[in-house]
Structures are given as C-alpha cells and as structure tokens.
Structure 1
C-alpha cells in the first residue's frame, strides 16, 4: 500500500524520539530518516521502526492489524525477539545514572560502567541481537540493577570486592529452552550489582486476568 506524507512524518517522529533517547546513533538515525522521506510504500517504512518503541512504549506498527510481540509470559515468542541491529551496546554513568529499559535491542556484548552513580538494565521487554549475549557490569562505589524475566536463560558470574555481585535470579523462574542465553559478568568494587527475576506489571495483570477467567470457567 502506498504511504502518505502523514505516515512518513509519523515514522520520522519515532526516529527522532529514538535518537533523543539514545536508541539510535546519529549516523544510523540520518540513514533511516533519509529512507523514511524517500519511502513510497508501507513495506519500505515498516523496517525502519521495527526495533523501536512508539511514544508510550508500544510497538509502532505501520500496517493495520499488526500485533506487538508477546512478552513476559509463558507464551513468549523468543524467535521474534532475537535478531536485528543493536540499539545499545554500552552505558556509562559517573556522578549520575543511566537506564536501559522498555523495547530496546541488546548488543551481543553490552558493557555498563558506573562510578559514584547508578544504572538500571531491564531485559523484560528487550530484544536481543543474537542468541548468545554477554552483559559486562563494572561499578566502583556505585550500584547497578539488572532485571530479567522469569523465562530468560541467565548465567551470572560476577565478582564483588568490598561489595557484592548478587544473583537473586539463580534458582528462580523456569528458563525457556528457546530463550537467548544471557551471561552477566563483571566487577563490583566497593559497590553492588544485583540481578533479579521479576515480571512487569502488565504481565502480572495478564496472569491475574487469566487466572480469574479460568476460575470463572
């Protein structure tokens, strides 16, 4: 189907939000923006934002009736969430903080560093560049939190020196055999890195409604 000027502008707006949030590098943003304004059909527009969230955190489909990927439940479509270009490969914070959460794409190797600051890495709605992902967390007199969904295959091998590298994710949840394998390594020096499994509020609500519906039946 042919794309309208309004649709091209909507895609451009999503791209501007993405570069402002650090999801796109400037070079990639310029390439996608140029392609958006040159696009003539929905088929040319859709790939430009497939790995980006729309304002409000939902996937921004171009085609009517397209559905976002299922996330955070026993029916997670992991195949849909593996592949594509990474939107972030590193995060740094000194005397401040950083956050990576929502619908973002984790690079094959993601490095996070904080000094006298904090960081949050949330994988519950994330996509993954590859089936094997390594997240390296380093903190000096700071803190970092990594939140993963119950179904994700996670291995934690961090070291704490005068600090802690906790793994509350071990022994909890039931990792899916189809999920990516995420290895979390690093060092916490006079600081802390914590890893925990936790569902999103939306997932908890869906589970509650499902349980309620089963009970009514």
Structure 2
C-alpha cells in the first residue's frame, strides 16, 4: 500500500487508479496478488538515477552494512588488499534489480543478501579465486534480484545469505563467544 501511495504522490498513477489498487490490496489473499498490483508501475529508481556506490578494499578493507543504508541501482566493489563486504540484510530496497560489480582482486568480495532475495551470477568471470554462490533460487515477490558481474581475481567473490552469527544479530539476540 505504501508503494501505491508513493506512486500516486510521484505521479506514476492517478488517484482513481490508486483507489482501485488500494481496494484490491485490502482484499488480496496471497503475496502474488499483492505483487501484481505494483509490478507494472514505472520505476523512478533506476541504475542511472543515482551515482553508483563504490567500495574499495585498499589496505584495510571496506564494508557497507549491516546498518541501514540506501541502496543505489549500481554497486561497485573492489576487494583490493583488505577485502570488501557488502551486507544488504537491513536495507529496504524498492528496486526490482541491483547491479553489483565485484572485483575480488587480492582479498576478495563478500556479498550478503537477505533470505528471499535471489542472485544472477552468470555475468561474473570466476578468475583464479573463483565464485562461491551460496544463495537459493527462492525469490519472494517484490524483492530485488542482485545481478552480479565482474571478476573473481585472486581473492574470489562470495555471495550468500546471512550465516548463523549474522542471523542472531538480525534477530536482536546477543552473540556470545
């Protein structure tokens, strides 16, 4: 319903269409019925609408997340010597797709995506360090697809869902040890 209201406020649908879709949203019984109400909306956020987020591992590494952050349509991660971690687990992303360029270089790049998100890793060259895809294909309606391109380099690229320790942090339970 928030997405529909935002679309009306931004002029992507008129107020009559908003009323019709809100009524349908209130009577929807499945996630699929809800997803259909926003699937045809023109997207304001596109990869060209914001500058890309560029992370460089350098000597000491770099990371984005797990705190909340605004996801642009394009993320570029260079592992460098220190490595890079991009954590999408606490973001709200209204984009249908996020392009992520990952270059493992010496120490690698790790990308963590929430359960329900999916990744397309067909555009990456595994290089010497390889590509490790530990994600599932079970994409929930309304969640983004991470389209991964780039090269593994010597350090490799890993894309996965949260591990046990990260899940405990997400649930608010203290992590011991």
Match of 1:165 in 2: 131
Q: Does residue 177 of the first structure (1) align with residue 144 of the second (2)?
A: no
| Mapped partners of 1:189, 1:200: distance in 2 | 29
| Structure 1 position 116, deviation (Å) | 1.6
Q: Does residue 98 of the first structure (1) align with residue 92 of the second (2)?
A: no
Aligned length: 127
Normalising by structure 2, what TM-score?
0.60
| Structure 1 position 86, deviation (Å) | 5.8
CA pair 162-151 structure 1, distance change in 2 beyond 3 A: same
- The structure with the greater share of residues assigned to helix is 1
- Any stretches of 5+ residues in structure 1 without a counterpart? 1-74, 207-217
| Mapped partners of 1:193, 1:93: distance in 2 | 13
Which of 138, 151, 159 is residue 103 of structure 2 equivalent to? Answer: 138
| Mapped partners of 1:141, 1:97: distance in 2 | 11
| Structure 1 position 202, deviation (Å) | 4.8
- Any stretches of 5+ residues in structure 2 without a counterpart? 1-30
CA contact (8 A) 1:88 1:104 kept: no
| Structure 1 position 128, deviation (Å) | 2.9
**Which deviations, in whole Å up to 9, do the C-alpha atoms of 1:50-94 show, x marking residues without a partner?**
xxxxxxxxxxxxxxxxxxxxxxxxx9xx98xx9778696111122
- The structure with the greater share of residues assigned to strand is 1
| Structure 1 position 196, deviation (Å) | 0.8
Q: Secondary structure at the match of 1:127?
A: coil
| Mapped partners of 1:167, 1:194: distance in 2 | 6
